[in-house]
Structure 1
Amino acid sequence: MTATLDRQSHRDALTFRLADLRAQRDQVLAEITPAGVGDDADRATNVEGHVNLAVLDERIVAVEVELNETAAGRSAADGTVSVGDVVTVDFGDGAETFLLGSVEAASDGLDVITPGSPLGRALQGASAGSTVSYSPRPRVNLDAKVIAID
């Protein structure tokens, strides 16, 4: 599978997703804000709405952080993997191509490795041709060879 996603397209996808998440947050906030006062307001507590609001806030922060990392990221010329790169890795059974980024930035036909995952942390800073080791769970160590960085 060959797929490319340049930094600007990645930023555009994140910016679009951020606007969508903020709109969802505004809608949930409007739904959980009590319209009345006193007893009406006390009864209007919407626990599920507050949980949804907290989840949206976390997702918004994650996208904002990724946008900032992408803006401050290393140039493609330095030859190492950074957030927003499309990276091809071989787990020992053939090359596979992924986006190193958030699921919010996923594009059609391109699987995502999140930067905070064990493999994502191992890939950051690796160069093409290097082999990285990561531990997906306790007492399990795996290797992956970086084939290409786009």
Structure 2
Amino acid sequence: MTGGPEPISAVAREELERELAELRTEREAVAATLRDGGGDEVGDRADQADELQRADDLDRLDADIQQIEGRLREASVAPAPPSDAVGVGSSVTVRFEDGTESTVQIGELANALDATLVTADSPLGRALLGHGAGDTVTYETPEGRTSAVVVSLG
């Protein structure tokens, strides 16, 4: 990661927007259950504790919404992925030790629906960041240390 605004893939953007919509819906539901604070103290301590819990839930949802909105804003002003070195948002063709090649997208968020996505904080993603075509990278797998060659950046 560069420390500046990082681009995100279209798949990651869609995932963040979906999560944001779900959080907003959940927030509306929780907010609708809170009393308006009119001073009527008609409930027992369990009701008051439940009210406090919902208020805490609302605060957590607001923080999550702000974080995602900020990430989407940041991604919208991020420069394009570098074309000469692997970065977040790059599409990379890699040749593994067994000779197989695979084209992967370096992303920020894991997505089970996108088998070509490699997160930047995964062992392979971390190894690839900053490298260019022709470079050999080494990384850890559950089976041990392995390497791959960056064939091209797309």
Which TM-score applies when normalising by structure 1?
A: 0.65
Q: 1:100 to 1:9 in 2, by over 3 A?
A: closer
Does residue 86 in structure 1 map to residue 85 in structure 2?
no
Give the Å deviation of 1:64: 3.6
Matching residue of 2:145: 141
Does residue 35 in structure 1 map to residue 34 in structure 2?
yes
Ranges in structure 2 where 5+ consecutive residues have no aligned partner:
1-6
Q: 1:149 to 1:15 in 2, by over 3 A?
A: same
Matching residue of 1:132: 137
Give the Å deviation of 1:102: 3.1
Higher helix share: 1
CA contact (8 A) 2:138 2:148 kept: yes
Larger radius of gyration: 2
User: Paired residues, what number?
Assistant: 135
Q: Superposition pairs for residues 108-127 of structure 1, below 5 Å?
A: 111-127=116-132
Percent identity over the alignment is 25
Q: 1:85 to 1:66 in 2, by over 3 A?
A: farther
Q: 1:83 to 1:66 in 2, by over 3 A?
A: farther
CA RMSD between the two structures = 4.0
Give the Å deviation of 1:135: 1.9
Distance across 1 between alignment mates of 2:13 and 2:81: 19
Ranges in structure 1 where 5+ consecutive residues have no aligned partner:
1-7
Q: 1:58 to 1:143 in 2, by over 3 A?
A: farther
Q: 1:65 to 1:132 in 2, by over 3 A?
A: farther
Matching residue of 1:98: 104
Deviation track 1:113-144 (CA, whole Å, cap 9, x = no partner) reads: 0001111111011111111011235x932111
